[in-house]
Amino acid sequence: MTVVPASSLTDHACLIVHGADRPGIVAAVSALITRNQGNIVAFDQYSDDPVGGAYFQRVVFHRAGLPAALSEIEADLERTIGGEFGLEWTITDQASPKRMAILASKQDHCLLDLLWRHRRGDLPVSIPMVISNHPTAADDVHSFGVPFFHVPSVPGPDKSESEAKIIELLRGNVDFIVLARYMQILSPSFLEQVGVPVINIHHSFLPAFIGAEPYKKAKERGVKLIGATSHYVTSELDEGPIIEQDTVRVAHGDTAAELARRGADVERQVLSRAVLWHAQDRVIRHGNHTIVF
């Protein structure tokens, strides 16, 4: 999956369709795009059962003068895809990058990796802010030209005061949020109020090695694989739909510090892929799992 600069995606739209499978969906979508003067440039689909199963489709098409025609296309989609076929759909202008806020704590490897990839043009997003409960990364974040906000975590289990300050910064300014090793548990109320997808990264030891120093515990247990998981955040801790995972083999001679270093590498790679795929509208949530095109 290559990264195409937003400037090269002028007049390109991404259409996501999903719902109950039935004959005629592909023909209907193709005909709709054609009568709206569009030209399909990428097409992916999946059905988990051709007889009454769930159907998923991602289509990228070019249409000259797309912004002016978008409302007309949306009306056609509502009539045809939503009305006649009873399917859910979303359409996005690919020339408008999603706004991604990053929440971080003291561990900065995922945070700085995302900022570096963004500066290189490898992530088609804008980053309006980084919010951290520690001030340590402020200078590094500012060096990337990104606003940094320090919101300390209030001691104790009640984080409502801290969350209220974060919500005030986020509200209306972001399309999705990334937890780049943000070491705080977000409340269901926070997730409901922000109202945008939240992507998390964690080591794949959960729930086997919970708490502090997971790589030290993994070394003591003699693990042969370490890895990372990126998933959407839900009110159930670390139970949200998985976007991406990866692993790397380790050996008995590797120290806990080496496990932690190699684990950080996997975390960076897994999180960056999950962010990229979400930004490109490649991920469709279905129940508690995902389809990734």
- Give catalytic residues, as residue numbers: 238
Question: Would you tell me how many other CB atoms lie within 10 Å of the CB of residue 118?
Answer: 21
Describe the crossing of helices 214-221 and 256-279 by its angle, rounded to 10 degrees.
120
Q: Residue 27 burial (CB < 10 Å; 0-12/13-18/19+)?
A: exposed
- Examine residue 207 and say whether the peptide bond preceding it is cis (omega within 30 degrees of 0): yes
**Is residue 60 within 8 Å of 13, Cβ to Cβ?**
yes
Q: How far is CA 241 from CA 20, 49, 236, in A?
A: 20, 20, 11
Q: How far is CA 216 from CA 44, 211, 245, 260, in A?
A: 42, 11, 21, 8
**Is residue 152 within 8 Å of 178, Cβ to Cβ?**
no
Q: How far is CA 71 from CA 99, 165, 174, in A?
A: 22, 35, 22
Describe the crossing of helices 256-279 and 109-120 by its angle, rounded to 10 degrees.
40
* Distance separating the N- and C-terminal Cα atoms of the chain: 9
Q: Name residue, tokens 């007889």.
A: 51
Question: How far is the C-alpha of 20 from the C-alpha of 110, rounded, in Å?
Answer: 38
Beta strand 130-132 with 98-104: parallel, antiparallel or unpaired? Answer: parallel
**Is residue 198 within 8 Å of 179, Cβ to Cβ?**
yes
